[in-house]
Chains A and B, each alone.
Chain A
Amino acid sequence: MRGAAAAALALGLLAAVPVLTGRSAVLNWLFLVLLHAGIAQSWNLLAGFGGQVNLGHAAFFGLGAVVARILWLDGAAVPWALFAGVAAAGAAGLLIGAPSLRLRGAYFAIGTLALAEILRITFANAMPEVSALSAAQLGDYALAPRYYLALLLAAGTTTVAWGFSASRFGLGLAAIREDEDVAAAIGIPTFRQKLLALLASTVFAGLAGGVFAYYHLSFYPSFAFSPIWTFDALIITFLGGVGTVWGPVVGAAFFILVREALALRLAELHLLIFGVLFVLVVVAFPGGLMQAGAALGRRLGAPARPAQRPQQG
């Protein structure tokens, strides 16, 4: 329970930040970390714990953002706007997941990629204008509620991740990730588990989108569907530790730190650095960072495994 106590302490400290400091630079920075922790953690819920690669996380983020934004600017109460965005993201998740998670192979990755890219182009065509706050809304704008919302997002996703790591449900997901045939053979309802994890993942991605929409003064709707959001989620999760509870949080802090430091010089540079780091991590530890420690142990000790695996049939 030491971990839980430390987490509660961290949460308390983070909750106190707006009271302790009026400096918006600090709040903005922490907001970005929390938002990205939420995006990455929501991706991690399905991909890290369940092993299903979602290449279109931006679709769910974008739907959450655009739906919440439209309703909010139309005068809906913020919680309702956010809820509608979350519902849209979850529904889109089911639309893609229900047919493609029944199958193995690359269908799910392709389906999510297709959803995100097609939504991006479609929204670029349908809503080409920038979405900006009105003068009245700008007058009301306060950072603290946005910050607390992001904190809620990060804490919520991480709590669910912790739940996945410590439950029968999470154990089932891990079994699916390791070997779906075996998981099915020992009676785990693989399709239902994958779909539920996808639902959790997309719902939180939608919430992250809503938080983004509530935070930004102006953005192009299609930008919320940019593949950059998916890249960020993958990179942060892999650098921090895919399939771990705290990896996405630690990764997000590191990511934002480096990104903001480099942004002044050259906007693209951080993407290049992180892209290279990401590929290196995937190549060096193809089993994911969780297995990196185990792999290191194997390399030092145990006998080599057969170089080529025979497959019968």
Chain B
Amino acid sequence: MIVLQNIVFGALVGGLYGVAAVGLALVFGVLKMLNVSHGELIMLGGYASFWLFSLWGLDPFLSLAASGPALFLVGAVLYLGLFSRLVPLHDEEKLKNSILIGFGLALILQVLAILAWTADERAITTAYAGQVWRLGAVVVPLARLAALAVGFVALGGLHLFLHRTDPGRAIRATAEDWQAAALMGISVRRTYLCAFGLGSALAGVSGTLVSIADAVSPSIGLSWTLKALIVVVLAGLGSIFGTFVAGVGLGIAESLSAFFLGGVYREVVGLALFLIVLAVRPSGLFGRP
């Protein structure tokens, strides 16, 4: 039973890894740029919800309507100001420089968050925070379950957008072959902007969900980026649903390894999975063999 409980907790956290990873993968898939400050955007989304709750008592689930759009704007500004400069570069140089810019940006955003809000950890305690759902001996925290469900719905919405609308199809076409997309009358740069904004908005949504399920502090960014990266390496860039499942899988793997090997080694499983993927499937997603 305790194993089952661990699986439940792992899955709840892992779903958030999945949502975080989809945003990162969207940007990478379309722009061929890796934004390693994705986790810091998640952190900003978390703070947005925290302050909306603390100052005005806004329920974090409602503040999704603010954190998503707000981070879309942040992403748009970052793209226009920084990442768009890399568009004319060769693939490899573009990727490398996007990683460097993201790394610098991560530092900047983290320091700004410390200066603005101190390094303290912040958590949202809603009235329903402690409520659980009992399934026999297994306990499911309701707020976390709801956060996971909301994340899943957000991904479903993204899926519909990408498959059923013209701008969505333009994004997928650009991801597959930007030159062919341009020949279809698609403005590649506008599509890049849109994809970067959407990926950042997803980071904002993830941030709100993190603030519900966990706590935020200026330094959480890097570890969220890392989870998202590992999930993307595990899942590839194939499908949104696959990425979500890989996130849940990583969460469960972490939770079980913490249970069986001891909490100290909780994180090591991510590194091990990464190395195994490189050994077993050494091509595809992030580069050429």
Contact = CB atoms under 8 A, between A and B. Distances in A.
Contact of A275 (B85, B104, B287): B104
A122 B264 contact: yes
B271 A115 contact: yes
B286 A279 contact: no
A104 interface: yes
A99 to B, nearest CB: 4
B254 to A, nearest CB: 11
Interface string A283-300: 100110000000000000
A107 B103 contact: no
A109 B99 contact: yes
Q: Is the interface of B mostly helix, strand, loop or mixed?
A: helix
Contact of B114 (A51, A268, A311): A268
A51 B34 CA distance: 16
Interface in A16-75: 51, 53, 55
A272 B107 CA distance: 7
A309 B88 contact: yes
Interface string B161-201: 00000000000000000010010000000000000000000
Contacts of A156: none
Interface string B67-108: 000000000000000100110111111011101110111011
A109 B289 CA distance: 16
Interface in A221-274: 227, 230-231, 234-235, 238, 268, 271-272
A313 B150 CA distance: 40
A271 B282 CA distance: 37
B37 to A, nearest CB: 10
A132 interface: no
Contacts of B267: 117-118, 121-122
Interface residues of A, number: 48
A134 interface: no
A126 B262 CA distance: 10
Contacts of A238: 100
A113 B229 contact: yes
Contacts of A275: 104-105, 107-108, 111
Interface in A197-241: 227, 230-231, 234-235, 238
Given A103-B289, A286-B93, A126 B100 contact: no
Interface stretch (B7-15, B202-210, B272-280): B272-280
A121 B267 CA distance: 7
Given A114-B271, A118-B268, A272 B115 contact: yes
Interface residues of B, number: 54
A160 interface: no
A102 interface: yes
A118 B85 contact: no
Given A114-B274, A279-B82, A286-B89, A55 B97 contact: no
A271 B112 CA distance: 10
A301 B112 CA distance: 40
Instruction: State the main secondary structure of chain A at its contact with B.
Output: helix
Contact of B85 (A96, A117, A286): A286
Contacts of B222: 113, 117, 227
B230 interface: yes
B286 A107 contact: yes
A276 interface: yes
A283 B286 contact: no
Nearest to A274: B107
B270 interface: yes
Given A113-B226, A268-B114, A283 B88 contact: no
B287 A106 contact: yes
Among A109, A121, A180, the one with the most B-chain Cβ atoms within 10 Å of its Cβ is: A109
Interface of A: 51, 53, 55, 95-96, 99-100, 102-107, 109-111, 113-115, 117-118, 121-122, 125-126, 180, 227, 230-231, 234-235, 238, 268, 271-272, 275-276, 278-279, 282-283, 286-287, 307-311
Interface of B: 34, 36, 82, 85-86, 88-93, 95-97, 99-101, 103-105, 107-108, 111-112, 114-115, 179, 182, 222-223, 225-226, 229-230, 233, 263-268, 270-271, 274-275, 278-279, 282-283, 285-289
13 contacts: A55-B103, A114-B274, A117-B267, A118-B271, A121-B267, A271-B111, A276-B104, A279-B101, A282-B104, A286-B85, A286-B97, A308-B88, A308-B182
- The 7 A-B pairs with the shortest beta carbon distances in the complex, nearest first, are A105-B287, A279-B104, A99-B278, A104-B287, A275-B108, A275-B107, A105-B286
